[in-house]
Amino acid sequence: MARSPKDSLQTYAALHAAKTGKASDKWSSYLPAYDRLFAPHRRPGVNILEIGVQNGGSLEVLGQYFSKAEVIIGCDIDPLCGNLVYDDPRLHVVVGSINSQDAYDQITALAPAFDIIIDDGSHLSLDIGNAFVDYFPLLRPGGVFIIEDTHTLYTPGYGGGLLDPASAQQFFKALTDIVNYEFWMGEIDANEFLRGFFQDGRPPAFIAEGWVDRIEFSNSMIVVHKALKAGHAKLGARVVSGGEFAVDIRAKSGASGFENPGAG
């Protein structure tokens, strides 16, 4: 039986467009991206953290979209966010710097683990990097860490710059090599490869453990997917179907399954 319109699942884009009351501010390109990223997590018991809530409307949109979510937390450094009041008991606001111990303790007291984390906070390169290091470990396996407004990472005023080797943009670009670590781990240790991004020279353990599964870059957005399990052997077994070989790829290919350069 077809669902009636009132029972159909609305898209995030539609809910955002229809929003009244507390303002929610998103770039148009984010809306279809959110529908794609959020849809697999639209199930009971989901926990969500949004860093930076401003006027608070985005938390209500998340509450509508994730009707079966357990806890949705917003964190904002602006003390005016402490005045936000919600009818939905699942929505919570923590006032403070996301990278402070006090905010971390309040957030983890409300929910010890998350399925989705959205960083729409200060947009400062240093804050983005620290928030990722502190909160990515709280993601459940298969969760997503979304960083908004990454165009700021090209701006010196936000601690970034196109040629700044220590910007958060360069750090996440370097993580794409960690995704493929199984193919170069014999050349250099993962921690040594990334140590220049950290003041103490010690990258977080989850990187070397292989919890970063894949990374997406789009205009003003970076998405880091957490693996279902730790480890760097992600390519999997080679799968060949059919038994007729005009060109014997079994002899010509290397361990990765791709043809050797110049094989012809």
Q: Which residues are catalytic?
A: 123
Is the CB of residue 116 less than 8 Å from the CB of residue 46? yes
- Cβ neighbours around 62 below 10 Å, total: 26
Which conformational region is residue 174 in: left (phi greater than 0), alpha (psi within -120 to 50 degrees), or beta? alpha
Strand order in the sheet with 221-226: 91-95, 71-76, 47-51, 114-119, 139-148, 221-226, 212-218
Sign, Cα dihedral of 243, 249, 254, 257: negative
Sign of CA dihedral 147, 150, 156, 161: positive
Total residue count of the chain as it appears in this document: 264
Provide the token pair at 141.
């396996």
Query: 179: which 2 tokens?
Result: 């995704």
Give backbone dihedrals phi and psi of 69, rounded to 5 degrees, phi first: -65, 155
* Phi, psi at 239, each rounded to 5°: -120, 115
Question: H-helix or E-strand containing 105?
Answer: helix 101-110
